[in-house]
Amino acid sequence: MTITHSSDGLGTTGARRGTSSLRRLLARFESLRGLALLAPTLVILGITVIVPFLLMSAMSLWTQIGFDYADDWSVRNYTTILSEPLYTTLLLRSLGMAMAATLLTVVLAYPMAYFLAFHVHRNKLVWLIIITLPFWTSYLLRVFAWRVILGYEGVINSGLMEIGLIAEPLNVLLYSRTAVIITLAHAWAAFALLPIYVSLEKIDKSVLEASADLGEGPVMRFFRVILPLSMPGVIAGTFLMFIPTVGDYVTPALVGGPNAQMIGNLVQLQFGTVNNWPMGAALAITMILSITLVGLLFLGLMYALRRWAR
Amino acid sequence: MIKRHEFHKPNRALQLYAAFFMGLLYIPILFIPLFSFSSGLYIRFPIEGWTFQWYAQLFERTAVLRALENSVRVAGSVAVVSTLLGIFAAKALVRYRIPGKGPILGFILLPLVVPPIIFGVALLLMVSTLGIPLSLYTIAAGHIIICLPFAIATLLPRFEGYDAAMEEAAADLGENGWYVFWRVTVPIILPGIVASLLLTFTVSFDEFVMAFFLGGNDLTLPLYVWGQLRIPRAFPVVLALGTLILLFSFALVFLGLKINKRGSIKIMDRE
Amino acid sequence: MSDETMIALRNVGKRFGTFRAVHEASFNIRRGEFFSILGASGSGKTTLLRILAGFEAATEGEVHIDGAPMDAVPPHMRPVNMVFQNYAIFPHLNVRDNIGFGLRKLKLDKAERARRIDEMLELIKLPGFGDRQADQLSGGQRQRVALARALILRPKVLLLDEPLGALDKQLREQMQMELRALQRSVGITFVLVTHDQEEAMALSDRVAVMAEGRVLQIDPPAGLYERPVSRRVASFVGSMNFLTGRVLSEDGGISHIRIAEMASARLPTSQLAGAGRTPCLAIRPERIAIHAKPPAGQGLPGVLKDRVYLGERTQYLVETGAVDAPLVVSVPNTAADAALQTSGAQVWLSWDDAALIPMTEN
């Protein structure tokens, strides 16, 4: 009798106290009661997400002239973005750096997720909490920590000089793309790790026994069973990390130099010193579109790989 | 119960790697507290001496205390609002047949992934179009977008985790919807509520990007820290402040995740 | 509607989208009766119970409880209480507070509340368990607490949703007896939903058999067993053999029926109403006699296919030309019959015509 059990709980009682027509209506249509409970959330998200987003799309079609906006609709901002090397370079660089950071994190996180899924038997929850803990806390401070480490007189330089390995501080550490990539990788590690862990944890242990029973050694077992089964987690982790990092601007602002600025910094500039909001809106939307595009390409690639692998 | 799987006997190499990974994760952060006790003005080795003076200075700065107060007010109200919304939304999503449930949940959880700068500038556009002045309220509005997914993801497993018959039983024993909610639903999901409050408070308390775009003249703590980062001489005090913020945040989040048991880990599984 | 009637259902139906979970249920449940609804999962029995409790709204028809229409009455206003399938013991409350949960509205003083709870603890034979937490209780104890929690409100009707399903066999049999005794002592109308026919038979004054949303038959246990109206009811309650007959003649209210060209029977024509000219005749395994030699009267010859020893009885499978499936014959083990021990042996079957039950409905 699963049909009846999965149905409703307190709703039936809660909404049907009286006999007013509204209550009868709500009692009759269960989904209405559910939507009534969801309504505050949906209204707030509508006002704070959907309306602003539509507004931003509209404004991206305006053009800034001095302190005013031109009163015609045009795609001028977008053609500028696509034709000016400054914008395209920054956009491609952001995608590239986010990809590099994502790749680095996924590669580093996979063995850790594997360890957690298969080798941690006690206090698993505490392990998971400790790994995710930094993720929840101040992003700004975690980025700042890398500035402390990579700075001209920072931990690495002064440490290396202290033990006499180098005489002069290395200039390449801070304000480089590498610095941004390392910092991003560190800051988002938990986001990439958890989906991988979850997909590994879900693997039925008897499947592993079966593959051993069928004569596969540990290495082939990994490549023929564990890795394919954990691919959904890897893909999810990749997306979870890639998407937000493309738009990051705190990290480039703090540890990236002029050559490591990202699209997020450009957006921020348009809303700050440059004060060209329509351009900022257009850049933000271009960012979303390019993330979507890369995401689709990635999914297509994964799909092709899977077909090829068969 | 501990069940050692035959295939997974302790693996020395993996254990070493795990230690390396945890080091990678935590050591960079630990430099903040380490140098906050260094008496030198510059962050570098060798550490000349140890001091508490940066912490003492911290409490002399009224700007810090004001920012702290602002942050607590914003984070407190954001935590309460997003948890309340989360309770209703999670209940609706778990207990009712709603058309388009999947897409609705996806939409609510979207801010977990989409770069916050997008929401930040979009909201800024609307707020300034409407002529609403930037203030702690606009920051809070931005934070609710970011905190709602966490609240709902924390509370959903709570509702999924107990039998709807509990609420039916209470109704059957004569309680109307309001009392069913207070006498049965709330006590049962209480760990989820507490966890949601703690987690959303921390997320809002530490949030920078939204606050950066939507903040007015009143600074929150992360905004204050950001301002100080341009002044190298202020670094030691920032380190002291950062240490306290990290300590506080870690404690709240640890408590929240611990109270909620496995629920929060599921958050990431929902994408 | 007479005073005898506690619950009246009139054409009650429930649809979930296009799926009809309950179809035109119309029957009465008497005051003080122990009434069971028996059916497989998916038969609509739980939906029917939830309609009585008010958790589901009937899409068609009417429900009256103690003469009052229940159409717009929400669960918390109904004079019924329920024992849930998994008991739904509140995990955050101890036994006392679980049992006393429904007393809040009565605004009793502390002493009276405590007295009533103690009384219930006494009734369910768990005195001294009041301070236990929900998770410290065994399955049987949870079931008792759920009973006490519902009975403390002195409902007009107690609804029980598979109350013994979660218990192991031994405990289940013990609880059946206790439940029956409890119902006798409190005198409340019990409506129980179960998929276990033995449970329904052992407990109930009357049983309604449901399948695919329809009520097939309502009768006391003996009537259900002795006079099932259709093959579906018959096969649901105990095991049954089915034979196909052909009415040869009718004479003075007695029909002469030929069974598979090998045997014949005489049955009152009145019993055959609705069964047609080629009635399906059912017979219980224990009503068939098995013989190693041809019996004195008529005997249906067959070959012994298998023999299963079941302790208090032995079950024989006999292949005859009369029906496709082998007939099941059940013989009490009062004395071992050595002659019948080899399979493949020639045997003869006989029965009293009165043991034949014509199936009058599909």
pLDDT class of C259 with cuts at 50, 70, 90:
confident
C72–A5 CB contact, under 8 Å? no
Second CATH level (architecture) for the domain C239-358: Beta Barrel (2.40)
In order of B138, B220, C338, the CA distances from B70 in angstroms are 13, 6, 95
The total number of structural domains that make up chain A: 2
Query: Any chain B CB within 8 A of the CB of C94?
Result: no
Residue B49, in any domain of the structure: no
Q: Is the pLDDT of residue C112 over 70?
A: yes
Interface A:C, Cβ pairs < 8 A: 38
Helices B186-206 and B62-95, packing angle to 10 deg: 140
Chain C residue with the nearest C-alpha to that of B188:
C92
pLDDT in the model for residue A33: 80
The answer to whether C164 and C172 are in contact (CB under 8 A) is yes
| CATH number assigned to the domain comprising residue B140 | 1.10.3720.10
Residue B10, in any domain of the structure: no
**What HEC string does A292-304 produce?**
HHHHHHHHHHHHH
Residue B253, in any domain of the structure: yes
- pLDDT, tens digit, for every residue of C217-255? 999 999 999 899 988 888 888 889 988 888 888 888 888
Query: Any chain A CB within 8 A of the CB of B26?
Result: yes
A240–B113 CB contact, under 8 Å? yes
User: What is the DSSP pairing of strand C157-161 with strand C189-194?
Assistant: parallel
The total number of structural domains that make up chain B: 1
| CATH number assigned to the domain comprising residue A169 | 1.10.3720.10
The type of residue at C253 is: G
Give B19-28's long-range contacts (Cβ < 8 A, gap of 24+).
B21/A108, B21/A109, B21/A111, B21/A112, B22/A130, B22/A131, B24/A108, B24/A186, B25/A131, B25/A134, B25/A186, B25/A189, B26/A134, B28/A142, B28/A145, B28/A146, B28/A149, B28/A186
| β-strand partners of C5 | C30
| Neighbour-count burial for A13-33, b at 16+ CB within 10 Å, e otherwise | bbbbeeeeeebbebbeebebb
The answer to whether residues A196 and A47 belong to one domain is no
Q: How far apart are the first and last CA of chain B?
A: 30
Domains of chain C, residue spans: 5-235, 239-358
- pLDDT, tens digit, for every residue of C7-22? 999 999 998 878 889 9
The answer to whether residues A131 and A22 belong to one domain is no
More confident residue, C148 or B268: C148
Q: Is the pLDDT of residue A24 over 60?
A: no
C91–B171 CB contact, under 8 Å? no
pLDDT in the model for residue C362: 66
Query: Any chain C CB within 8 A of the CB of B261?
Result: no
| Neighbour-count burial for C263-287, b at 16+ CB within 10 Å, e otherwise | bebebeeebbeebeeebbbbbbbbb
Q: C-alpha C342: how far from its chain's center?
A: 37
pLDDT in the model for residue A22: 61
Q: Is the pLDDT of residue B68 over 90?
A: yes
Contacts for A48 with CB less than 8 Å, ≥ 6 apart: B119, B123, B141, B142, B144, B145
Nearest CB among B126, B168, B268 relative to A198 is that of: B268
- Which of C188, C264, C140 is CA-nearest to residue C31? C188
- State the nearest Cα–Cα gap between B201 and chain C, in angstroms: 26
Cis ω before A232 (30° cut-off from 0): no
pLDDT in the model for residue A28: 58
Q: Which chain C positions have a beta carbon within 8 Å of B182's beta carbon?
A: none
Residue B41, in any domain of the structure: no
The answer to whether C131 and C96 are in contact (CB under 8 A) is yes
Residue A76, in any domain of the structure: no
The answer to whether residues A249 and A140 belong to one domain is yes
Residue A78, in any domain of the structure: no
Helix (H) or strand (E) holding A55: helix A51-59
- Which of B246, B110, B262 is CA-nearest to residue B191? B262
The answer to whether residues A17 and A99 belong to one domain is no
pLDDT in the model for residue C300: 84
Q: Is the pLDDT of residue A12 over 60?
A: no
The answer to whether B253 and A135 are in contact (CB under 8 A) is no
The answer to whether residues A125 and A42 belong to one domain is no
Interface B:C, Cβ pairs < 8 A: 66
Write out the residue range of the structural domain in which residue B192 sits: 63-270
A136–B114 CB contact, under 8 Å? no
Q: Which two tokens stand for residue C32?
A: 């003080």
pLDDT in the model for residue A8: 36
- pLDDT, tens digit, for every residue of A27-41? 556 678 888 889 999
List the alpha helices (DSSP H) in chain B: 12-36, 53-58, 62-95, 101-109, 116-129, 136-160, 165-172, 177-180, 186-206, 209-214, 221-228, 235-259
The whole-number average pLDDT for the span C337-362 is: 79
Sole residue written with tokens 């009650």: C12
Give C180-185's long-range contacts (Cβ < 8 A, gap of 24+).
C180/C34, C182/C123, C182/C147, C182/C151, C183/C34
The answer to whether residues A35 and A157 belong to one domain is no
C59 phi/psi in degrees, rounded to 5: -85, -20
Least confident piece of the model among B30-39, B243-252, C264-273: C264-273
How far apart, in whole angstroms, are the C-alpha atoms of residue B126 and residue B131? 8
pLDDT class of A212 with cuts at 50, 70, 90:
confident
SS3 state at A68: strand
pLDDT in the model for residue A75: 85
Q: What's the mean pLDDT when you consider all of chain A?
A: 83
Residue B20, in any domain of the structure: no
C5-235 fold: Rossmann fold (3.40.50)
Query: Any chain A CB within 8 A of the CB of B114?
Result: yes
More confident residue, C278 or C2: C278
The answer to whether C292 and C203 are in contact (CB under 8 A) is no
How far apart, in whole angstroms, are the C-alpha atoms of residue C248 and residue A254? 102
DSSP structure class, residue B163: -
Nearest CB among C16, C55, C72 relative to A12 is that of: C55
Residue B88, in any domain of the structure: yes
Chains that touch C (3 or more CB pairs under 8 A): A, B
The answer to whether C241 and C216 are in contact (CB under 8 A) is no
Write out the residue range of the structural domain in which residue A52 sits: 8-59
How far apart, in whole angstroms, are the C-alpha atoms of residue A288 and residue A56? 12
How far apart, in whole angstroms, are the C-alpha atoms of residue B113 and residue B151? 15
Sole residue written with tokens 């006498």: B183
- State the nearest Cα–Cα gap between B175 and chain C, in angstroms: 5
Q: Which of C19, C37, C48, C50 to mutate to test the interface with A (most CBs of A within 10 A)?
A: C50
How far apart, in whole angstroms, are the C-alpha atoms of residue A180 and residue C134? 54
- Which of C302, C335, C299 is CA-nearest to residue C317? C302
Q: What's the mean pLDDT when you consider all of chain C?
A: 88
Note the ipTM here: 0.87
Chain B residue with the nearest C-alpha to that of C85:
B165
How far apart, in whole angstroms, are the C-alpha atoms of residue A227 and residue A117? 13
| Neighbour-count burial for C306-327, b at 16+ CB within 10 Å, e otherwise | ebeeeeeebbbbbbbebeeebb
pLDDT in the model for residue C155: 93
How far apart, in whole angstroms, are the C-alpha atoms of residue A101 and residue A189? 10
The answer to whether residues A214 and A128 belong to one domain is yes
Interface of B with A in 151-210 (CB under 8 A): 152, 164-168, 170-171, 175-178, 180-181, 184-185, 199, 202-203, 206-209
Radius of gyration of chain B (CA): 22
- pLDDT, tens digit, for every residue of C173-209? 888 998 999 999 889 999 999 999 989 999 999 999 9
Residue A34, in any domain of the structure: yes
Nearest CB among B166, B179, B190 relative to C88 is that of: B166
Residue B7, in any domain of the structure: no
- State the nearest Cα–Cα gap between C206 and chain B, in angstroms: 25
The answer to whether B106 and B118 are in contact (CB under 8 A) is no
SS3 state at A166: coil
In order of C92, C94, C121, C175, the CA distances from C128 in angstroms are 19, 12, 8, 20
How far apart, in whole angstroms, are the C-alpha atoms of residue C362 and residue C356? 17
Residue A64, in any domain of the structure: no
pLDDT class of A5 with cuts at 50, 70, 90:
very low
The whole-number average pLDDT for the span A77-104 is: 92
